[in-house]
Amino acid sequence: MVYKGGKRLIKNNYLNCQMKKNPYYVASGGIEPLGHYHSHNSIKDAITIVCAGSIGNVFFIKKTFGLVTVL
């Protein structure tokens, strides 16, 4: 299965969002979410591979979520 991601999330749109109104967390390269957003651009039960320079991390995310950058 090939999944094509949705729109790229812009930092100012999710950084100060409250979780009550914005249930989807925003994932990036770190272990903790960056913030919350009102919609998602990825599917639940997804394997994500984050690459920054020569460092890479692999995560399995059980919830529907938003990615900062989707390739």
Mean pLDDT across the stretch 39-59?
75
**pTM score, two decimals?**
0.58
pLDDT at 36: 79
Residue 6 lies in a domain: no
Confidence of residue 70 (pLDDT cuts 50, 70, 90): very low
Domain that holds residue 60: 11-67
The domain total for the chain is: 1
Residue 25 lies in a domain: yes
Residue 45 lies in a domain: yes
pLDDT at 43 over 50: yes
Mean pLDDT across the stretch 28-38?
75
For 52-65, b/e burial (b = at least 16 CB within 10 A) is eeeeeeeeebeebb
Q: Give the chain's mean pLDDT.
A: 71
